[in-house]
Amino acid sequence: MEEHEKGREAFADDEAYRLHSLRHSTAHIMAEAIEVVFPGAKFGIGPAIEDGFYYDVDVGRSILEADLGAIEEAMKAIVKRNSPFVRKEVTREEAAVVFKDQPFKLELIQSLEGGLTTYEQGGFVDLCRGPHVPRTGNAKHFKLLKVSGAFWRGDQRNPQLQRVYGTVFPTREALDQYLFRLEEARKRDHRKVGSAMGLFIFHEYAPGAAFWLPKGEELWHILSESMRRLLLGEGYIAVRTPMLFDKALFEESGHWAHYRDNMFCVHKQEEGEEEPRTFSLKPMNCPSHMLIFRSQKRSYRELPIRIHDQGVLHRDELRGALGGLTRVRQLAQDDAHLFCMPEQVEHEVDVLLQLVGRVYTALGLPYRCKLSTRPEEKLGDDELWDAAEGALRGALEKNGLEYKLNAGDGAFYGPKIDIDVVDALGRAWQCATIQLDYQLPRRFKLTYVGSDNQEHIPVVVHRAIFGSFERFIGILIEHFNGAFPMWLAPEQVRVMTVSEKSEEWGREVAAKLAAAGVRVELDVSADKIGAKIRAAHAMKPVYYVVVGEKEQTDCTVAVKGRANADLGSMTLDALVERCVSESAVPF
């Protein structure tokens, strides 16, 4: 079961609710099938999730990929049986009897609030609040996908269970389309593509931190500098702040109380001090930016002050949760904090939304917005929240952006806009965020002198467009399948000589391209030209340039684009001009 099952009101429409019910029901069918294949299995929870479902189980041994076929066969028999899902209200005492051999269920029975219900299908009973489809026969079009490890209730101090994932759709066509996209996603996996292109590596000596190789560093640098130039042109100031801070900073900000478990700490015995001091690698930039604002007296005439910082951050993620570039321990963001007067907030958010549109449109990434409003446990009065939420809503509407309302999903210190990009496979990735903060300025006692010569407290806007560079690069690798547009490609041109007779001309071609700022690689190896072209394909340059004796005699180059698009013969000057014109950053 899912500990906090969603009600109908949590879904955008009836279709989403029905799909959730189907997936949740299929998780129960899978659990029954696991018990058939592995008698005595111990069950944790089995919720519906985006694109499918899972169940956490302990079967006494590792569940292998080969076991998934046997579980699927048992599921088919349960579906064919077409048993109804029967709901029953039970007391805690009755539930304890039913699940007396299920230790994880017994733990849930003790921790869950409110009344308890079970669902039964053909003799198999599970603790659950629903919802479910009417019968097992409704879940015909399913597929089991993978097995991974998962600590019980997400706590590494608890037993490690096995999480069996699957998916289900109302029709065979929808399932086949999803499986096709899944296979395409495997081919585009940024870990596979990035390794083949020589962008980065990982090593067990530094879990969760990427080693950026020359071409990967080039890709990082292009994005970093493009964003820096964009922001400096929009009135931002760039800073670089320390990486290691005394814990007192995070006590002042409140992060020590709420975020300490995700921080890397260092204990240092300072000279002349009796007790060692505790330091932490910073997990975010905002506290240090508060110190910069507080370092001098501020006037309303200076506001807004927009501070940009691409410094290195560290967050102590669980090792089992790490995943290539999309979940790391060491990261950097295109981070910024805007210090402004309350009446400036809507304008600043308006401008930010325009920046987001410029960047994502240039990258060919459609996007969609979510507005998260006040949670039940919030700081500040309703009047303040009304103004804050109104400012975000007004900026969204001014920019003509549709948005999903996530009521109650804001942070305790302010509402926010989260923005998802949609990649070439239709997958949504949360990247940009625009978050209002009325509490950190108070904690740090930040003030500015207003036009009335009185001190006022500024509002802080936390914002990022890429999010973390690591995660955003991982998204881009999969979106483009490594075939980056000209301005972003770490290798734009590959020059290849047919033989050593044309090597001199090949070197001259590469040198002139490089002198014009084109990112070029030269292959003068003894390999045949067919082998050179095949090797170049793995690096995915935009242009493949071949020079042989004819080209050397004519002072020309033979050029092909991606997908073997033959661009014919052209002069070197024409190639240089083409490459330079196409290399301009589009935002």
CA 303 to chain centre: 32
SS3 assignment, position 341: coil
Q: Does the annotation count 462 as an active-site position?
A: yes
Given a contact cutoff of 8 angstroms between Cβ atoms, the answer to whether 193 and 475 are in contact is: no
Task: Give every CB contact of residue 182 below 8 A, 6+ residues apart in sequence.
Answer: 145
ω into 103 cis (within 30 of 0)? no
Given a contact cutoff of 8 angstroms between Cβ atoms, the answer to whether 431 and 466 are in contact is: yes
**Considering 190, 215, 286, 369, which one is annotated as catalytic?**
286
**Considering 309, 334, 335, 418, which one is annotated as catalytic?**
335
Report in angstroms the alpha-carbon separations of 65 from 27, 30, 148.
18, 15, 10
Q: Does the annotation count 435 as an active-site position?
A: no
**Considering 24, 337, 374, 378, which one is annotated as catalytic?**
337
**What's the CA gap between 532 and 535, in Å, rounded?**
5
**What's the CA gap between 533 and 537, in Å, rounded?**
6
CA 284 to chain centre: 16
**Considering 298, 315, 463, 532, which one is annotated as catalytic?**
315
Q: Does the annotation count 102 as an active-site position?
A: no
Secondary-structure breakdown of the chain: helix, strand, coil percentages, each rounded to the nearest 5: 40, 25, 35
Q: Does the annotation count 416 as an active-site position?
A: yes
**Considering 20, 462, 471, 532, which one is annotated as catalytic?**
462
Task: Give every CB contact of residue 115 below 8 A, 6+ residues apart in sequence.
Answer: 89
493-497 and 543-547 as β-strands: parallel, antiparallel, unpaired? parallel
What type of residue is 206? Answer: A
Q: Does the annotation count 528 as an active-site position?
A: no
What's the chain's length in residues?
A: 587
Return the active site residues: 286, 315, 333, 335, 337, 416, 462
